[in-house]
Amino acid sequence: MRAILRSVSAAATLEGVLAPLRADPGRAAILLDVDGTLAPIVRHATDASVPEATRLKLIALARAYALVACVSGRRAAEARQMVSIGSIAYLGNHGGEILRPGSTEAQLDPEIEAGGRQVREFVDRVWSREHDRVRVRREDKGVIAAFHWRGAPDEEAARRLVEELAERAQEADLNVHWGRKVLEVRPPLPPDKGRGVATLVGAADVDAALYVGDDTTDVDAFRGLRGLREEGRLATAVCIGVRSEETPPSLQQEADLLVDGPEGVRRLLDALLD
């Protein structure tokens, strides 16, 4: 039965969920989304940061657990720069690229890379002065283009223009994904956190894995871990959602339990280290 926690202070439930990972950290993987999970959501994505207290806990986790990785919709190199820890792995572009500990270049699927060129050509065709006027912000994420309207003077008008972009992207046989006040236009073969997580964890010598995330793309990661468990490649797959005012219903339905915001995540990290 899934438990929805008001905070991680419900220690008995939390300890029970985390027990298989804490029992043998040397054979356990910890994977965490970045924005909204480790770092608070802010109006402009470029202003986001991981608090130093959280970063220190990640360093301690990396010393204790077999695999620690940050998973992000950002490019892997950008996520590493934001977290500022070189000894852990990074899955960027929603699992479309892997930056391994100590590596300088991310590994990108060639088919996804080709699709990224289609996305960039699409953006060049459709972007107009009207998007600038209503303050829709576009973000180049390599193989993905993101369109944000959080904080626009008229968010409703900006959202309508973004919806039109989504329709045109689908007409161009591109994939669209809606997040928290953001539209992502993705290649025909889209990156998927579930595939990325399954690739990274499946190659590691671990028996248990935990994933923590706050958005709809993190549901794919939940399913990727559970797929490994169903295949017998993991004995334990723990999926924890991060609750906010914008928590997607699918995340609530799929999570084994919920914690409250990045502060709840920090308490969760403490529990993994105790």
30 and 104, same domain (yes or no): yes
**41 and 101 share a domain?**
yes
Average pLDDT rounded to a whole number, residues 219-247:
96
Q: What is the pLDDT of residue 10?
A: 42
pLDDT, tens digit (0-9, with 9 covering 90-100), for 235-250 = 999 999 999 988 999 9
The answer on 138 and 251 residing in a single domain is no
| Domain membership of residue 53 as a residue range | 11-108+191-273
Q: Report pLDDT for 11.
A: 42
Same domain, 101 and 121: no
Please give the full DSSP string across 123-184, using - where no structure is assigned: HHHH--HHHHHTT-EEEE-SS-EEEE-TT-TTHHHHHHHHHHHHHHHHHTT-EEEEETTEEE
CATH code, domain carrying 69: 3.40.50.1000
Kindly report the pTM of this predicted structure.
0.74
Asked whether the predicted pLDDT for residue 6 surpasses 50, the reply is no
Alpha carbon distances (Å) from 44 to 62, 95, 183, 195: 29, 22, 14, 28
Separation CA 243–CA 274 (nearest Å): 23
**Could you tell me the pLDDT band of residue 5, with boundaries at 50, 70 and 90?**
very low
- Boundary (domain end) residue, out of 139, 168, 186: 186
Domain count, the chain: 2
pLDDT in tens, 52-71: 999 999 999 999 999 999 99
- Give the per-residue pLDDT at 93: 86
- pLDDT above 80 (res 115): yes
93 shares its domain with 228: yes
> Among residues 163, 186, 209, which one ends one of the domains?
186
Would you say the C-alpha torsion 16, 7, 28, 24 has a positive or negative sign?
negative
